[in-house]
Structures are given as C-alpha cells and as structure tokens.
Structure 1
Amino acid sequence: MFHAASSPGRNRAPLPPAQSPADGVPSPRSPRNSKNRQSSRTSPTSSSSQSAPNRQSGQRDAFFDNAKYLAIVLVAMAHAWEPLKDDSRILEGVYTVVYSFHMPAFIIISGFFSRSFDMRPDRLKRLVTGVAVPYIVFETAYSVFKRVVGDAPHAEISLLDPWYLTWFLCALFIWRMTTPLWKLVRHPLPLALGIAMLASVTPDIGNDLDLQRVLQFLPYFVLGLCMKPEHFRLVRRRSVRILAVPVFMIALAVGWWAVPRMNTAWFYHRDAVQELGAPWWTGPVMVLAMFGCSLLLTACFFAWVPGRSMWFTALGSGTLYGYLLHGFLIKGGDYAGWFDHPALHRPLGEILLTVLAAAAVTLLCTRPVQRIFRFAMEPSMEWAFKRDAAELARERERGGRREKVPA
C-alpha cells in the first residue's frame, strides 16, 4: 500500500479498490463520505444500521426496518407501563411477555448486521462515532437531566455506571468489539450461553459498564452473528404466522399466572441470582429457560413483522434516536408526577398511555428529529481521525488524472 502511494511513474502498483462500509454498524446513518455512493444503490431510508439488502435487486429488505421500528415501539410502550403495572395484573402480565422478547429481538438484529464487522479503520471509526460518542453524550445528558429535573442534585455523572437506557450502547460497543472472536471460535453460541450462565451466579461482577446485562444478553447477539437470511425467511412462512397466534395466547396466560409468583427483575438480566434472593443453581437454569422462551416469542414476533414496505418502514433507520430520546419523556413524566394521575390507572387510561407512547417514539424516529440531534448521534468527527493512506492515495491519483485531461 505504501509503495503504491509513493512510487512515481506509470509502473506504480494499482491501489486497492475502495471498500464499502460494513452492513449493520449501529450508528443511525451512514457516514457523509459514503452517502452519495450508497444512495445510488439503496432506498431513500438507507442508514448504517441498515437492513439486509436484497442481493438480487440491491434494495433494502423492508422486513428488518419494520422489525426494528416495531421493536422500539414495544420498548417505549413497556417503559410507559412500568409505573402503572403494579395496579393491574393484566397489564403486568402483558408487560412480562413483552419484556421477554422485545430487547432480544432488537439484539438479534444487531448481531445479524454485525457479521461483517472487523477491525478495519473505517468500521472502527463508525463504531466510535455511532456508539461510543452517543453513549458519552447521553449518559452525561441523562445524569444532568436527573439532577435538574429529577431534583437529585447529588446524582453522579459516571461513564462507568450506565443509567436507564444507555446500557444498550455500552453493551453494543463491547459486543461489536468482540465480534472477530465469536467469528473465530468453533461453537460460539454454547460458549456465549456458558458465559451468561456463569455471570448469573457471579455477583462480584458489579455494576461497572453494566456487565451483568452485557454478559447475560450476550447469547442473543452471538445468535444474531450466527444467523443467515434464510433463518429469518424460515420464521416468516404462513404456517409459522398461524402457529404464533396460539403461542402468544399461551404466553399471555402464563404471564398473567406468573405475576404474583415470579420476580420481573429476571427479565432485566441486570442482577446475579444471589441479588434476587434465589438459590444459586436457579441462575443457570433461568438463563437457559428464558433464552428458550425469548427465542420462541421472538420467532413469533418476526413471523408477524410485515415483509413489504409500510408507512413506518422509513422510520426503521431512526430507531436509535427513538430509543435514546424517549427516555427523557418517560423520566420527565415520572419526575413531574404525570403517572400518578388516577385516570391513568384505569383500563382506558392505560390504553391512552400506550397509544401516546407509541406515537411519541414514532415521532422521535422521524427525519426532522434525526436532523436536529444528528450532532450527538452521528458526529462526523473528521478532526479526530487520521485519513486512511489508501484513501489519500486514491484522491491524489484521481487528481492527477484530472490534471492530464486536456481543457
């Protein structure tokens, strides 16, 4: 590469071709310098957290954008239900069912689009600007918000202790950095499950970087790395869609039954079994049991996701915006006492709050919101990175060719 960039004359070695960015890098959009190139071969909703392209037509598969949008709507709805669920057994049962699969579904998709990740400089840069920088910005913003609006003047600002929603960015950074290792080992999913089981009985891991969640949710990310497009097509068959109906009905019944019998903290994956007051051996058992249940319900969720372009398909490229921003609305409402209103604790109030949560997160995924908060979610930060030598050499080569063209 360096010889090619510095050798004069017409015998100079050819430069390597410019490589396209990795699919599925979790920053909300593609970098500026590839925007024009990607727009010619993808739909107008293209982003760096993009869905799998149709290899025959070169277009994005709307299924993945639809799945990301619907999953993030479920996340916002579940967060809105949290202050109300103790007053309604039905609502808490639904909450339990939704919590068992909405984040696993999102994490599996993230893993699926991380399959091509390696330590190439441009991909590392996108990981920093699309995940690490938003984590720092929003972890600080949430802490300040808690101090000012939440009337907690002594709330700490610590980048080592993710608060509320920012744990996912921290986890995503760690998972993606370990992707080359999972692609190297022979049996990645059993290994990831073993790590999650060990984490569930290790309270000494502590809260730094929310490692309990990072490790206990790890198998879903690794599963996504192991999946292929045909696996998603398998669960989207008509027979699976039909079978998903009774499965979800049974899950709702089990969720209602389990409300007084099971601690919902199991679904958060943020505590070791000792911290939940259960015998140590239940940790590994629950990791395996919940992994199986989550996969079953996630498959049902994917079976119901439409595969064609819908009115909300374009919003799939802005799900990270909706995820990080809706937390300010939920926490702000909690601090202001909105959830204490008696009307919200009745069935009609719960339905109204559900609709409002879905509408709010939908608005937060739109392009105008993306343009406003792009500085925090996808900064270019060209000043912070060295230019790739091959890219600089290609630019010089193009400039030399233009100079030789006669006027």
Structure 2
Amino acid sequence: MDIQEEKDSSLSEVNYDTWMLNLRFILILLVVIATGIEPIMGRFGVMENLHAWIFIFHIPLFAFVTGYFSRHNLLGRNGWASLCSIAVQYVIFQTLYSTVDVLFFQVPQQKHSFFIPYLMLWFLVAHIGWRVLLRIMCALNIKHPVLISMALGVVAGYLGGDGSWLSLSRLFVFLPFFAAGYTVHPRKLLVLSSGSSRLVQGALSILLLAVVSLLAWHGTPDWLYGKFTYAEMGTGGTTAALSRIGWYLLQAAGSLTFLAFIPQKRSIVTNLGSRTLYVFLLHGLFIRSGIRLGLYEYVRQPADLVILGAAILTITVILALPQTRRLTKWLIEPDLGGFSRMGRQLAVRWRPSRMLKKL
C-alpha cells in the first residue's frame, strides 16, 4: 500500500459528523472566550491579539458547521419546522436578555428592539436568513451557491442604514460560509487536515496569530465583525468591494488552517459538541452578570488570566452537560406543538419550485 492509499484509507475511517461536532464544541468555547475577555482587553495587549485572531475564523467556521448540520433539515417539512423553532428561540431569548438588561445588566446605550438582536442573538436571525436563501437557491438549482453568496456579501455592504438592523449585514457577509458548509463535503477538507499537511496547517495558524501580534492589531477590525456597512466603516466604491473579497480570503485561509487543531476521533468533546446551543444561548447571562457584579475588576495581573480562563472553560462545559439540557430544555427547546404542525402544512402548500413555475 503506497502513501496515497494509506491516506485514503485513513480518511474513509473518519466519521464526518464526529469531526464536525468536535469542531462545534471548540468553536463555542472560543465564542465564550472571545466574549469573556472583552471586558479586560484594554488591560492586556495579548488579549486584544487573541481576540482578533479568534475573530478571523470563529464566525466563518461556526456558519460553516451550522450549514453542514442543516443538510439534515433544510428542505421539506423538517426545514419549515426548524425555521419555526429558531424563530421561537429568538423571540424567547431576545425578550429574556432585554428584560434582564433593563432590570440588572443596564448596559449603556443598549437598544432594546426585536429588530436589533441583543449581543450574540444576531446569529439566530442570520441563521433564519441563511436557511431561507439556501432553500431559494436549491429551488432555483443554483450550481455555485458559494460564489453567488460571496457576490451577495460584497453587494450587501453598499446597503444604506444600520447594518445591525435584523443582522442584515452579517446575514449576507457570512452567507458564503454557511453555503460552503451545506455544499462542500468535509472529505475535501480532511484531505488538507491529514498527515504532514495537518502539521503545516497548524504551523500556519500559529503564524497567523504571531502576525496579528506583530502588527499590533489592537481591537478586532470592523471588517471581521461583519456587522457594519461600507458607509459605517467610512469606505465605499470599488475599494470597499475589493477589501471585502480580501477579508473573505483571509477568513477562509484562517478557517482552513485552524481545522488542524480539531480532533477527528470521538471523545467527550464530541458529546459536548451535541449541546452547544445551550452554551450559545446561556453564556451571555454569566458574562454580563460577571461584569455587572464587578468581578472583572479583580482581573489585574497575568496570573488572574489563568483563573479567568478556568472559569470560562468551566462555564462552557457545565452549560454543555446533559444535566443542563434537562433543566433548561423547556426554555431552549420548547414543545412547539401547533407551530410544528403549521410548518408542515406550509411545507405542503408553499413549495418554492411549484411557486416559481407559476411565475
């Protein structure tokens, strides 16, 4: 057996769902880290560099892995039921976070509106938009949805107004990564993340972190957030479009290199990765409470960062445990009942392909 045959054999043994679940847990851990270090970034320059490095790939990869798992329930009746479920989650948690913010967090200049998602809840709104747009592309038999999505992401930057309104900017900016997760088979990525190639990828990812540090990239660039229009970032014309394409290339490269750190075998990380929704929706309550209670005022020395890191890891793991799911499922995954039946009825009565034929 030659080297190429051995490589193909090892790839055939990989369970792609396992790899993606491992990726999902590591990504949600990075989400909590990025949120958890924001209050003290001004005190530690290294935290600003870490924050910028994380933002290069963690939202694109989260959109990618979300697109991958949407293969199971994007179309048909299950697709409509999933859309209803995400919409209900958004209404519940937008109400919850806004209420707690008014009563306890009291974040300065925080807007409270169902049209302005609170913190990380923009991802739920964008997820709804991604699913709707991919359904339309499937109905139209679009052959290159990733390229079409990139074009939409570039053009969306020229929209006027506030890019955070209904997360429209982020919806279009990160649509290509969701489309890639839905259409690109993980096997193609595993070819790049196996054997010696994996070592090269890991080295390049660390090099990217070093470059961020050397450039004194303090504060995450607005381009990485994806929430601002070109006008809000003070640019426009052809330069803006070329800049977005350049950032797309950097984020794609950063995402591919980071995959080298993702384990491919089933472990406790895999099990935790199956419950990241709970971490995503609940971790903000802990971070905001820590800020409001003044706990971050005690993070002054480098040694304190170790304690903060341990606290972040502990919160992430606890929220991903099955016990947390049992306690909070009524809130996060409520029994939709009538909503599910309505979704199934809509799936029968409103089929994009049938409607398009009538146009």
The equivalent residue for 1:213 is 170
1:237 is displaced (CA, Å) by: 0.7
Find the partner of 2:319 among 338, 341, 364: 364
Over 3 Å counting, the alpha-carbon distance change for 1:97 and 1:388 in structure 2 is: closer
1:84 is displaced (CA, Å) by: 1.3
The equivalent residue for 2:330 is 375
The equivalent residue for 2:32 is 76
Amino acid at match of 1:89: G
Kindly indicate whether residue 187 of structure 2 is the aligned counterpart of residue 230 of structure 1: yes
The equivalent residue for 1:203 is 160
In the alignment, is the contact (CA less than 8 A) between 2:193 and 2:259 conserved in 1?
Answer: yes
The equivalent residue for 1:272 is 229
Kindly indicate whether residue 56 of structure 2 is the aligned counterpart of residue 100 of structure 1: yes
The equivalent residue for 1:396 is none
Q: Which runs of 5+ in 2 are unaligned?
A: 1-11, 346-359
1:366 is displaced (CA, Å) by: 0.8
3-state SS of paired residue (2:161):
helix
Find the partner of 1:188 among 134, 145, 169: 145
Amino acid at match of 2:21: D
Over 3 Å counting, the alpha-carbon distance change for 1:74 and 1:153 in structure 2 is: closer
Counterpart CA distance in 2 for 1:108 and 1:233 is: 14
Over 3 Å counting, the alpha-carbon distance change for 1:57 and 1:91 in structure 2 is: closer
After TM superposition, the score normalised by the length of structure 1 is 0.75
Counterpart CA distance in 1 for 2:169 and 2:344 is: 40
1:329 is displaced (CA, Å) by: 0.8
1:117 is displaced (CA, Å) by: 4.3
**Within 5 A, what are the aligned runs for 1:52-91?**
61-91=17-47
Kindly indicate whether residue 302 of structure 2 is the aligned counterpart of residue 347 of structure 1: yes
3-state SS of paired residue (2:115):
coil
Counterpart CA distance in 2 for 1:325 and 1:360 is: 10
Higher RCO (C-alpha under 8 Å, 6+ residues apart): 2
Kindly indicate whether residue 213 of structure 2 is the aligned counterpart of residue 256 of structure 1: yes
Q: How many corresponding residue pairs?
A: 332
Amino acid at match of 1:186: K
After TM superposition, the score normalised by the length of structure 2 is 0.84
The equivalent residue for 2:286 is 329
1:205 is displaced (CA, Å) by: 5.6
Amino acid at match of 1:356: A
Higher helix residue share: 2
The equivalent residue for 2:295 is 338
Amino acid at match of 1:95: H
In the alignment, is the contact (CA less than 8 A) between 1:212 and 1:272 conserved in 2?
Answer: yes
TM-superposition CA deviations, 1:186-225 (whole Å, max 9, x none): 3222221111112223333643211111111111111112
Over 3 Å counting, the alpha-carbon distance change for 1:89 and 1:388 in structure 2 is: closer
Counterpart CA distance in 1 for 2:344 and 2:200 is: 54
TM-superposition CA deviations, 1:221-277 (whole Å, max 9, x none): 111122013223213312221102321232112211333577622211101122123
Amino acid at match of 2:25: Y
Find the partner of 1:146 among 83, 89, 101: 101
- Aligned Cα RMSD in Å? 2.7
In the alignment, is the contact (CA less than 8 A) between 2:52 and 2:217 conserved in 1?
Answer: no
